[in-house]
Structure 1
Amino acid sequence: MAYSFVVKKEYQTREDVVSSVTIKVKGISRTNGSGIFQNAGSRTWDPVDFAIPPQTPNSVFIMTNMWITNQTQGICPEKIYNKTCTVDSDCACGNDCVTRNGILTGICDNGNNGSKLCLAYGWCPIEVENKEIINSGPKLLNAPDFTVLIKNTIQFPTLRRHYKKRNLYPNTNLENCTFDFGDNLYCPIFTLKRILNMANCDFEDVGTKGAVLGLLIEWNCNLDKKLNLDKWFNLRSHYKLRREPPYDCEPHYRARRLDFNVATNIASPSINFRYGNSYINSNGILARQLIKAYGIWIKILVSGEGKKFDRSTILFNLGASVGIFAFASFAINIAIHFILKETWAFHKKINEDWYSTASFVWKYNPYIWVPCRKRHQEVNYIFNSVLKV
């Protein structure tokens, strides 16, 4: 009982946390447009380019590697189902007019390397990814220094209707702080390198093919007010605490990788998707820049509970504890019957106690002696029958 009430605090009722999360990413990186960066071009990348979308609740995707294809609307050859064509009838669309990258025109034409491919109407040229360049490593080399600001607000509407808590404190200097396990334990700004270290991940690995990381925020809040002796000596401090009740409610952060490692032999292990930026080029033609983005998808997972003293909870647990004592008495009686060899001594003691009580009753009311004795014999017979079974 002491362990239940002192350590486990079973005198408190509990409620799961209700939470909201917003994320903001900052950082700058540059590609010089030569070597493995040739496809990415010579340009500067900011959060509008690599944070997709720039703001979203509970998760954010940070691009670290990419393959870019500049396209315009037109007709271009496409290799369909790894097949080539010899005549136009081989490209007849029938019920399969729509292909992976366009709509078949029904015309067979010479493709690359003298092979014949069907022509399709769509965005041209078709994306042809260079696996060697992609696998050479992440292109945004400054990505580990990108920062992620996480704003998390929680509440417990049943336990404390008007109480809300944020992981962002009023006196936090957001210009100069980043999270660490030392002095900045409650700073909500994380560098991407810090998140990767918490999840035991290497940037060269996850930055090349992508990964899904989970950043866990745990809230275990004791909503019973703390004993604060300052109120006896400093009245102003007491009023300040009344405006923000001194509850034990602080966030704790952990991170882990949620997807499979690229080295694992599974289908489609990388994390990527495509998006495009459309524009009108200098010739007045609709064009777009198609980007196949590889990167790190960070999901914010919030868990926890609030605890508060409750009279009905403590009465319920006290009743359950008393019931355990009754069960213990029954279990000991059974154990004595089946384990001890001197079971007769136990029966003798019970009978002596019963007869001494019955003698006292018979002395003052002899009329109930016979029924009581008969009842005792019936109970004793039933109990011994059960034990024999």
Structure 2
Amino acid sequence: MTEKARHVIPGCRILISIIVVIDINKQGRMSCATCCGYLKGALVSFFEYDTPKIVHIKSKKVGLLNRTVQLAVILYIVIWVIVIKKGYQDTDIPISAATTKLKGVDFTNITKVPSIGARIWDVADYVIPPQEKDAFFVMTNMIITPNQTQGVCGEDPELAPCTDDSECTKDMPVPVGSGVMTGVCNKATNSCEIHAWCPVEIDEPPLKDSPVLTDSKDFTVLIKNYVYFPKFNVRRRNIPDWIKKDKYLSKCRWSRDKDPYCPIFRLEDLISAAGEDYLVMAYKGGVIDININWDCNLDYAETNCRPTYTISRVDKNETVSPGWNFRYADFYVVDGVNTRTLYKAYGIRFIITITGKAGKFNIVPMLLNIGAGLGLLTLSTVLSDIVVLYFLKYRSFYREKKYQNVDEMDVSYQVLSPELEGKDFGEPDPTNSVRHRPLGSNANNDSET
């Protein structure tokens, strides 16, 4: 076995030997003697043991590298793990719930659109549905088609244009349309006649480049958020502790700079905080995320555990299918006929997400983090060994000093050689019946026997 191979861990040498035997045997190029040689080497390696050896190397280069790596590891543990990441704390994530309450009214007087006309819009009109889980929707623009009844009428000319009955296939639904074709071309509308809720919706907003509810920017929403950290039995809410009366809530408005803890938000302030223009977004709609983050250090008073708000737009202002819209209808009966008013609602959907964690001092995670960090100190030894054994000028000399092979025969010789030194045992007697005499035994005793 080569000197280099002796430096391999004995267990690894056993595995390597077995793998070599199997590999060569598969190729059919191994004799029985060779196979036995490999297996014997593996067996011998099984009864060997490696122990660390300390070699003190006086080298400024290696010493500087070693201390630099050790200092870097210690700084990492102290600054990053302990101070910045608070490795001395036990942590918990919150169980949370959020409720919303909107307020505000708007008056529209669009006389050229009879379906809207002069009308008051309050919370029951523009909040659809009245309650959602961690979200709310505010309708800001709409297309209203009133007094629809089931019957036969012409389809929207842009969806099913025609000049002759042959262009209208009977009983075929109109793709992205409102009904099923009767097979007749309606000459009055130059579109295929359909079975549908009539009159059909004309998909065009009442105002060009402006939402119907322009004053919706001044609507307000009260967001009440409750969080519970079960590991520390701590409950918090986003309404500040110093607020004892509702009078403050009636006047305060959230502002990132002036009043960051007020739980009442103007819709325009939310959209502006997301970097968007309210009237532009209100025309086609969109999706806004309101993130409430609780990052609490419970080593201080619980009253210091307060939320921060981050507002961002979730969807993109694309040219293809932009914004957010959906349809719903109000149903009623007129003279015994089922009738409905169809709404295509454009608006802004606000999604509330609650994130965060709470931390409190605990000796167990602190010791675990320190122990894991101290384990990195071995990097200094590994890097120093690499430099010493592979890059320094006298690397061969250092390698001989670092690795030493000790055999049991060598040990026996070194131990017994001082006892044998200076002793003369004479010539061996061929007639002596005792062929092997223990070393150091008395010759007179042999003669007496």
Given the two structures, how large is their TM-score scaled by the length of structure 1? 0.75
Mapped to 1, the partners of 2:163 and 2:415 lie a distance apart of: 110
Tell me what 2:429 maps to.
Answer: none
Compute the displacement of 1:309 (Å).
2.5
Report the identity percentage: 32
Mapped to 2, the partners of 1:350 and 1:204 lie a distance apart of: 76
- Cα gap change, 1:223/1:117 in structure 2, threshold over 3 Å: closer, same or farther? same
Partner residue of 1:53 out of 106, 110, 129: 129
- Matched pairs, number: 328
What amino acid is aligned across from residue 27 of structure 1 in structure 2?
G
Compute the displacement of 1:166 (Å).
0.7
Tell me what 2:216 maps to.
Answer: 143
Compute the displacement of 1:259 (Å).
0.8
Partner residue of 2:339 out of 276, 287, 299: 287
Mapped to 2, the partners of 1:188 and 1:341 lie a distance apart of: 70
Tell me what 1:257 maps to.
Answer: 313
Does residue 124 of structure 1 match 2:177?
Answer: no
Higher alpha-carbon deviation: 174-183 or 248-257: 174-183
Does residue 315 of structure 1 match 2:367?
Answer: yes
- Cα gap change, 1:93/1:348 in structure 2, threshold over 3 Å: closer, same or farther? closer
Compute the displacement of 1:77 (Å).
2.4
Mapped to 2, the partners of 1:295 and 1:99 lie a distance apart of: 21
Larger Rg: 2
Higher alpha-carbon deviation: 68-77 or 22-31: 68-77
Mapped to 1, the partners of 2:144 and 2:156 lie a distance apart of: 20
Tell me what 2:386 maps to.
Answer: 334
Mapped to 2, the partners of 1:130 and 1:223 lie a distance apart of: 55
Secondary structure of the residue aligned to 1:2 is: helix
Compute the displacement of 1:252 (Å).
0.5
Q: Deviations over 1:319-341 (max 9, x none)?
A: 21221112322221212333332
Mapped to 2, the partners of 1:57 and 1:111 lie a distance apart of: 49
Higher alpha-carbon deviation: 251-260 or 17-26: 17-26
Tell me what 1:163 maps to.
Answer: 234
Compute the displacement of 1:350 (Å).
6.3
Tell me what 2:435 maps to.
Answer: none
Secondary structure of the residue aligned to 1:174 is: helix
Tell me what 1:154 maps to.
Answer: 227
Summarize the alignment of residues 83-122 of structure 1 with structure 2, pairs less than 5 Å apart: 84=162, 86-87=164-165, 90-93=168-171, 100-104=177-181, 106=182, 108=184, 110-113=186-189, 115=190, 117-120=192-195, 122=196
Tell me what 2:272 maps to.
Answer: 197
Partner residue of 1:9 out of 56, 61, 86: 86
- Cα gap change, 1:314/1:171 in structure 2, threshold over 3 Å: closer, same or farther? closer
Mapped to 1, the partners of 2:254 and 2:414 lie a distance apart of: 81
Tell me what 1:238 maps to.
Answer: none
What amino acid is aligned across from residue 150 of structure 1 in structure 2?
I
Summarize the alignment of residues 211-360 of structure 1 with structure 2, pairs less than 5 Å apart: 211-224=286-299, 226=300, 246=302, 248-261=304-317, 264-265=318-319, 267-281=320-334, 283-343=335-395
Whether the 8 Å CA contact 2:328–2:342 is kept in 1: the answer is yes
Higher alpha-carbon deviation: 337-346 or 60-69: 337-346
Higher RCO (CA < 8 A, seq sep 6+): 1
Structure having the higher strand fraction is: 1
Compute the displacement of 1:100 (Å).
3.8
Secondary structure of the residue aligned to 2:269 is: helix
Q: Deviations over 1:281-321 (max 9, x none)?
A: 3x443322211111111111211112223333222212212
What amino acid is aligned across from residue 166 of structure 1 in structure 2?
R
Whether the 8 Å CA contact 1:67–1:134 is kept in 2: the answer is no
Q: Deviations over 1:76-123 (max 9, x none)?
A: 2226963537449954327x599842355x45253434x362231x32
- Cα gap change, 1:26/1:369 in structure 2, threshold over 3 Å: closer, same or farther? farther
Whether the 8 Å CA contact 2:99–2:134 is kept in 1: the answer is yes
Secondary structure of the residue aligned to 2:370 is: helix
Compute the displacement of 1:214 (Å).
0.9
Mapped to 2, the partners of 1:202 and 1:98 lie a distance apart of: 34
Compute the displacement of 1:200 (Å).
0.7
Given the two structures, how large is their TM-score scaled by the length of structure 2? 0.65
Mapped to 2, the partners of 1:190 and 1:142 lie a distance apart of: 15
Q: Any stretches of 5+ residues in structure 1 without a counterpart?
A: 227-244, 355-365, 372-389
